[in-house]
Amino acid sequence: MGTLTVNQNKLQKRLRRLAGEAVADFNMIEDGDKVMVCLSGGKDSYTLLDVLLHLQKVAPITFEIVAVNMDQKQPGFPEHVLPAYLKALGVDYHIVEKDTYSVVKELIPEGKTTCSLCSRLRRGTLYTFADEIGATKMALGHHRDDIVETFFLNMFFNGSLKAMPPKLRADDGRNVVIRPLAYCNEKDIQAYSDLKQFPIIPCNLCGSQENLQRQVVKEMLLDWERKTPGRTESIFRSLQNVQPSQLADRSLFDFTSLKIDESAASRFVNVVNL
């Protein structure tokens, strides 16, 4: 790629700055870490690897990067693309072969969405592999829009207020997941992917499904953003500004013990007759 234009340079700097801020704010990467970057072959994970390689060069700490792709044995998957790309970059990598495609097709009836089971199987395999290679952090390519979409999906369909945290420890304590693109928006990532001409590998399993609830929520947010620019950013900021006393979760706030404060100053003011 040749010299960047002014706007392209701004785009690259913005993504690197926002990723750096997220890494710093949540202490995602520490000195001596071995960061396993999970590559799917999509725009998000390519951008993630790109910004982390830059961060590795300029950060005041030393950390290792190893790229990992999970070959789920989907028909027509171009097995040569990622190895060729990573070799050209000089990045250490592993290809983990696990036929989860057949499992998903066998267990999920035709016409039903496969994402939940597919992601569960993929996550379990990657967690185990991260442990095997001694990775201290697992980096995923989820961005700000993914986090906000997940927030609404959980609220609409699971009755819970939760999203994708920028940093997460697995239930068994063996893995720490980080999302360095948590402050980056999808529009910028798409533009950067187009600029860098990443060799995108489409997902023939989930990407071909119609009427996914996530897609419905995505369209809802895009419509809101068109009508009121900045709304998605505002929603994301709200996830960083939680006030439990203003919600209704009794496990987060002690509503039962709430009483008036007898020592508080009275609002009543004596009126003096003039």
Binding residues for [4Fe-4S] cluster are 115, 118, 206
The per-residue DSSP string of 104-142 comes to HHHHSPTTS--HHHHHHHHHHHHHHHHHHHT-SEEE---
Q: Which residues are known binding-site members?
A: 115, 118, 206
**C-alpha distance across the termini of the chain, in Å:** 83
Of 147, 189, 176, 137, nearest to 16 by C-alpha is 189
Phi/psi of residue 64, nearest 5 degrees? -100, 145
The residues, any chain, with a CB within 8 Å of residue 239's CB and separated by 6 or more, are: 147, 148, 151, 163
Of 33, 34, 37, nearest to 51 by C-alpha is 37
- CA dihedral (241, 164, 177, 91) in degrees, to 10, reads -110
Q: Which residues of 15-31 are buried (b: 16+ CB within 10 A; e: fewer)?
A: bbebbbebbeebebbee
CA distance 65 to 23: 15
Phi/psi of residue 39, nearest 5 degrees? -105, 125
* Backbone Cα Rg of the chain: 23
CA distance 67 to 39: 7
115, 157 Cβ separation under 8 angstroms: no
